[in-house]
Structure 1
């Protein structure tokens, strides 16, 4: 164990992003926060940002702020997320609703644009929201779901996609990073395989945005949706974003026709006429308050660079795997994530029959991972707010809780 501690401290000493650790609120009584892949820590500057918003943008400018800044915030913030984290040119990303609502909008728009194709392809272990929305749309549109049975650790592979897509495939829905194992999918190769069959692909970026450099434009991605409360630290319930490649603008038509997505919002027209470009994918009033917290995190990511964030993610998860090998594997714990850092995202999952009770013990002791049914603990390691020594202390706490 002394060698692991020395390694963790050496990695921290050489960490070019270490100066950012103090940018986050320190939670009293929390010894190790290993759930940043589920809910990111708030930034220390956030209370001042919120206070200034209440005092000035809302409190002083009042409704004038809609004309002065808020109307354009969904697309301006979308462009910024696209530039900083998604490899997306301006005009293709918008911050709007919840992840669920945006998944519905883009899935419905995609299948409706694929006349004559009657199948939606999705992995059987994908996040419940993605599966539930796909099931609902299939029922609404009289379509068939084709399920991919992928390896639970390695995740969806190109061969899995090639085996199921065909001339009847309308849409393929996949997660870029598997929410269970952390497996990182080959976005470019899979997107190419779907396009070869004439289908469209929608990527769920919830567990990759802000931690994995993503090149949506370069990979030819059609559609993507991601949340902002994980690695973008937008806070509980912060709105999601949608990406629609420019080649689909004017072709895809979103199904929830709200006034904020109209071409002339204040015309109060008798019929819906959509705005041009990505703005038509807005429906109701933008959640302005929910867009505040993530702006500070985007500042940090841009200053650090998403590439540097990814490199630290690899060393954090690499240390977690090494500590697993030395301290947890001898206790019968299983590694449920890929060993190769290039094949995994920002979390490492481990399994043991006693982990439901172990998680309760850890939380009581101020060590906060999360539990995933049936017997997995996820170690979610957000690079800008997590040190290597914190990761090691969390793994050792798991060892101690197992007895």
Structure 2
């Protein structure tokens, strides 16, 4: 294997300058952007201004003076640019789970029937996505909604005349495997069904073309690769071809046609605004608004290219180690078939992860025995890969992961 010139890769990196816009500890290698993105400096500045100046000085006037009231659509339009959607098709609000509940119900309302009642998904989809379908199933009854699970490889062929919608996450949270949303949309539409996409592990780190792929609905979060902060509001996309007949059950006052008329009867807003429910969380919404500025001068094609290069470099570096056979790569071996992460199975994955964190390399663990390394192209460097592998090599050779401290698991893994 050729020697990797990590320093040269960093010198040739067209995104190298973006690292300076983030707050990153000097003694930390952060390979967990697929769980929580790093803090952009502009977000800290914007949150401070929102609290001290807008809220502190302008008080309730800020709803109009600083356009707080329109933040969901302003932010949604920015996100739309990153996911291949029209600006009027995306809105920022609530959580992925709440937004998923809305679009599942919207899909059932649009094409569901006594015969067509199946929401088709994968066994290894992110659990909350499956929980939300189970909740709708429990609420409406199986005569209206029934969850059917198949393996990822079976998903396309499993769509039939009973399918209401295919629910798929573009990048699997455990393995990092990337699904072909365009192919899934075509398979769904061929059977009269709809396509619901979860973009949690792909938005902001790879090119997405929802309109071109004919995806019907999509949800995603902003606190991973979009770097908007822990618990930041999610987003929801509805193709404009569904707007005229769109109906979702969470009829809150901000989804009303005229919220400040305070009418007792609900009249739905037009278009994507009817996906709103309650008052927008202004401070965290401003954080999202600011975080999206990080993408102003960035090509997602460049981001994707660096992402694949980072994962390939890490994979190649680990494979060159004497102990590499102890780690089973559960991610696809080819970079184009995965998102911006690598996942390895190891009997002591949790303990190894904790030993890495103690030495300043932050990765994460997923049950039952997987360690994940998530790469954020806007701030991760190739020389960080070199240092992380060296630290991991020392942990493996000294068996530092067997320290009794790592035998008790923390709540968040």
Name which of 8, 11, 14 aligns with 1:10.
Answer: 8
Alpha-carbon deviation of 1:243? 0.2
> What is the DSSP-based 3-state SS (H/G/I as helix, E as strand, rest coil) of the residue aligned with 1:202?
strand
Alpha-carbon deviation of 1:66? 1.2
Quote the Cα distance in structure 2 between the aligned partners of 1:64 and 1:42.
Answer: 29
Alpha-carbon deviation of 1:3? 2.5
CA RMSD of aligned residues (A): 1.6
Name which of 58, 69, 73 aligns with 1:75.
Answer: 73
Quote the Cα distance in structure 2 between the aligned partners of 1:331 and 1:398.
Answer: 14
Question: 2:90, 2:235 within 8 Å by CA — same for their partners in 1?
Answer: yes
Q: How many residues align?
A: 391
Structure 2 residue ranges without an equivalent (≥5): 398-413
Alpha-carbon deviation of 1:43? 1.3
Question: 1:327, 1:396 within 8 Å by CA — same for their partners in 2?
Answer: no
Per-residue CA distance 1:44-77 (angstroms, 9 max, x = gap): 2333222222233222222122123011110111
1:366 aligns with: 360
Question: 2:125, 2:169 within 8 Å by CA — same for their partners in 1?
Answer: yes
Alpha-carbon deviation of 1:328? 6.4
Quote the Cα distance in structure 2 between the aligned partners of 1:318 and 1:296.
Answer: 31
Change (3 A) 1:262 1:124: same
Question: 1:40, 1:232 within 8 Å by CA — same for their partners in 2?
Answer: yes
Alpha-carbon deviation of 1:28? 5.3
> What is the DSSP-based 3-state SS (H/G/I as helix, E as strand, rest coil) of the residue aligned with 1:55?
helix
1:149 to 2:151 alignment: yes
Q: Structure 1 stretch 62-71 or stretch 32-41: which is displaced more?
A: 62-71
Quote the Cα distance in structure 2 between the aligned partners of 1:372 and 1:328.
Answer: 25
2:400 aligns with: none
Per-residue CA distance 1:316-357 (angstroms, 9 max, x = gap): 111011112112664421111112111111111112111111
Residues 40-55 of structure 1: matches in 2 within 5 Å? 40-55=37-52
Name which of 304, 308, 325 aligns with 1:310.
Answer: 304
Alpha-carbon deviation of 1:163? 2.2
Question: 2:331, 2:344 within 8 Å by CA — same for their partners in 1?
Answer: yes
1:20 aligns with: 18
Alpha-carbon deviation of 1:399? 2.6
Quote the Cα distance in structure 1 between the aligned partners of 2:381 and 2:112.
Answer: 50
Residues 116-155 of structure 1: matches in 2 within 5 Å? 116=113, 117-141=116-140, 142=142, 143-150=145-152
2:274 aligns with: 280
Per-residue CA distance 1:145-188 (angstroms, 9 max, x = gap): 211123xxxxxx4xx23321111101111001111111111111
Quote the Cα distance in structure 1 between the aligned partners of 2:162 and 2:2.
Answer: 58
Structure 1 residue ranges without an equivalent (≥5): 151-156
Change (3 A) 1:328 1:246: farther
Name which of 342, 352, 363 aligns with 1:348.
Answer: 342
Question: 2:71, 2:286 within 8 Å by CA — same for their partners in 1?
Answer: no
Q: Structure 1 stretch 51-60 or stretch 257-266: which is displaced more?
A: 51-60
2:373 aligns with: 379
Name which of 97, 103, 106 aligns with 2:103.
Answer: 106
Alpha-carbon deviation of 1:280? 0.5
Question: 1:262, 1:275 within 8 Å by CA — same for their partners in 2?
Answer: yes
Q: Structure 1 stretch 35-44 or stretch 300-309: which is displaced more?
A: 300-309
Quote the Cα distance in structure 2 between the aligned partners of 1:328 and 1:47.
Answer: 43
Question: 1:161, 1:194 within 8 Å by CA — same for their partners in 2?
Answer: no
Quote the Cα distance in structure 2 between the aligned partners of 1:231 and 1:382.
Answer: 7
TM-score using structure 1 length = 0.93
TM-score using structure 2 length = 0.91
